[in-house]
């Protein structure tokens, strides 16, 4: 027997809710629209569009923002989504810091906070640091913690759905307690979701960047670590334990076979084409490298190489060798998944820019049977954080914009 409180498909209540959501999505895309424009874009009559806007305004979901002054004819009232209707938060966690941000329902970031987290951490300190970082962003937004509708937290590795424990991220101390998720749930008053950081970078590229309009793509991330996100049929593929895309562990030709990869926190592809290989390649070519974190050194060298710094042939060879190594691992990924698109992301690969992308594309054409298109990621400022916000906002909008209840 159906639940009498649940509206049936095709009923006026459901149809009104569908029209409401269509109008809200149009307002999110366009910023402001008049009643007439909303009617044309949705196919609704003027009276129906007027009723819709009145209904959404009464629900606190849209606000009148002014009129179309300066245009021929009578001024028309303009409407926009009420930015204050709800807020969502995202956190990007790595061993060095917790980066938090709060966005309003339109997607505009209204508060941001970075909390340095040096040294080892216990589960207790992890909970404190997560709440402190969130509270810092909430305060910067002029809000209270209870004003946040939902939080998405991005970390390296993935939480195993069967155990609730973090896997594939031994370098993130304090996050491996079996009670951590329960403790965080008790400390935070809103729903909390957890997602792999590279998956969130892929969400950002799919919503805002190079993968817009693509339902089948791979995002290869290369920064402190090397990993991938797999999007199949428009959805993230996480695997049985959340480990899909941990391609740094992939055995590849050109490196010794790495055993006990989880304990070593490395693998063949990581050793072959991770950021740590770039300074080694440079030194082998007679290029001096500064004493800095290897990811920073790698990005700096590849930036110079991509810019043709002084037309140094050693830098050109460095770029070629690195592209060959990236393509070696990507050939295995391509053979298994046959993606439409591969997005190269993370600070190391994006430093190589178009010259690196073109070299990888050409090398991959020699190694793989299929020919996916390669693009450099477009969301280069805090892509993990941006993906966390986009993920939190998507669910928040589904809940807040549902007028059928």
* Residue pLDDT, tens place only, 249-266: 999 998 888 888 877 778
Cβ partners under 8 Å of residue 293, min gap 6: 224
Residue 150 host element (H or E):
strand 148-155
Of the candidates 390, 385, 363, which has an alpha carbon nearest to the alpha carbon of residue 374? 363
Residue 112 backbone dihedrals phi, psi, to 5 degrees: -150, 145
**Number of Cβ within a 10 Å radius of residue 341:** 19
pLDDT (tens digit, 9 = 90+) per residue, 207-246?
999 999 999 999 999 998 899 999 999 999 999 988 999 9
pLDDT (tens digit, 9 = 90+) per residue, 118-147?
866 676 799 999 999 999 999 999 999 999
Q: Which DSSP category does 222 fall into?
A: E
CATH of the domain at 66: 1.10.10.10
Same domain as 76, residue 114: no
Boundary (domain end) residue, out of 81, 106, 131? 81
pLDDT for 309 equals: 63
Same domain as 191, residue 132: yes
Judged by DSSP in three states, 323 sits in helix
| Residues in the chain, total | 405
Give me the mean pLDDT over the 11-24 stretch.
90
Same domain as 286, residue 142: no
Q: Is 5 domain-assigned?
A: no
Residue 11's pLDDT band (cuts 50, 70, 90) = confident
Q: Are strands 217-222 and 341-345 parallel, antiparallel or unpaired?
A: parallel
Higher pLDDT: 69 or 176? It is 176
Burial of 24 (0-12, 13-18, 19+ CB in 10 A): buried
Cβ(126)–Cβ(172) below 8 Å: no
pLDDT for 5 equals: 54
Cβ partners under 8 Å of residue 309, min gap 6: 315
Burial of 116 (0-12, 13-18, 19+ CB in 10 A): exposed
Residue 121 backbone dihedrals phi, psi, to 5 degrees: -130, 140
Boundary (domain end) residue, out of 51, 81, 111? 81
Domain that holds residue 344: 212-378
pLDDT for 1 equals: 45
Give me the mean pLDDT over the 77-105 stretch.
96
Tokens matching residue 149? 């509708």
CA distance 278 to 404: 55
pLDDT for 121 equals: 67
Higher pLDDT: 188 or 9? It is 188
Tokens matching residue 276? 């740590």
Cβ(209)–Cβ(380) below 8 Å: no
Q: Are strands 87-94 and 77-81 parallel, antiparallel or unpaired?
A: unpaired
Cβ(193)–Cβ(222) below 8 Å: no
Same domain as 362, residue 276: yes
Q: Is 205 domain-assigned?
A: no
Same domain as 177, residue 226: no
Same domain as 121, residue 55: no
User: pTM of the entire structure?
Assistant: 0.91
**Number of Cβ within a 10 Å radius of residue 132:** 15
Same domain as 73, residue 111: no
Domain count along the chain:
3
Higher pLDDT: 381 or 69? It is 381
């Amino acid at each position: 027997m159906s639940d009498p409180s649940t509206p049936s498909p095709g009923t006026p209540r459901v149809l009104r809710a569908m029209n409401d959501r269509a109008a809200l999505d149009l307002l999110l895309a366009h910023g402001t629209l008049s009643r007439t424009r909303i009617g044309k874009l949705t196919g609704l009559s003027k009276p129906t569009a007027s009723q819709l806007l009145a209904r959404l305004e009464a629900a606190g979901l849209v606000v009148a923002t002014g009129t179309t002054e300066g245009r021929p004819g009578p001024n028309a009232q303009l409407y926009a989504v009420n930015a204050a209707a709800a807020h969502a938060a995202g956190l990007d966690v790595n061993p060095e810091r917790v980066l938090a941000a709060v966005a309003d329902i339109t997607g505009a970031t209204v508060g941001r906070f970075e909390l340095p987290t040096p040294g080892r951490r216990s589960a207790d300190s992890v909970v404190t640091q997560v709440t402190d970082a969130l509270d810092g962003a909430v305060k910067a937004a002029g809000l209270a913690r209870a004003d946040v509708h939902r939080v998405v937290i991005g970390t390296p590795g993935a939480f195993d759905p069967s155990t609730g424990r973090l896997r594939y991220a031994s370098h993130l101390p304090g996050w491996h307690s079996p009670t951590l998720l329960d403790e965080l749930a008790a400390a935070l008053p809103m729903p909390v979701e957890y997602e792999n950081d590279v998956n969130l970078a892929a969400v950002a590229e799919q919503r805002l960047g190079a993968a817009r309009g693509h339902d089948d793509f791979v995002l290869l991330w290369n920064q402190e670590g090397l990993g991938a996100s797999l999007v199949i049929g428009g959805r993230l593929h996480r695997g049985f334990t959340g480990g899909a895309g941990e391609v740094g562990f992939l055995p590849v030709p050109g490196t010794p076979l790495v055993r006990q990869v989880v304990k070593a926190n490395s693998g063949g592809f990581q050793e072959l084409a991770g950021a740590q290989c770039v300074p080694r390649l440079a030194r082998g070519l007679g290029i001096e490298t500064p004493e800095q974190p290897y990811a920073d050194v790698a990005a700096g060298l590849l930036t110079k190489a991509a810019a043709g710094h002084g037309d140094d042939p050693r830098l050109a060879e460095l770029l070629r060798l690195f592209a060959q190594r990236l393509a070696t691992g990507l050939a295995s990924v391509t053979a298994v998944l046959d993606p439409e698109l591969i997005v190269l992301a993370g600070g190391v690969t994006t430093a190589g820019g178009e010259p690196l992308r073109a070299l990888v594309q050409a090398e991959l054409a020699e190694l793989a049977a299929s020919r996916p298109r390669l693009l450099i990621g477009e969301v280069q400022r805090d892509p993990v954080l941006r993906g966390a916000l986009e993920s939190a906002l998507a669910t928040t909008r589904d809940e807040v914009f549902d007028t059928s209840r």
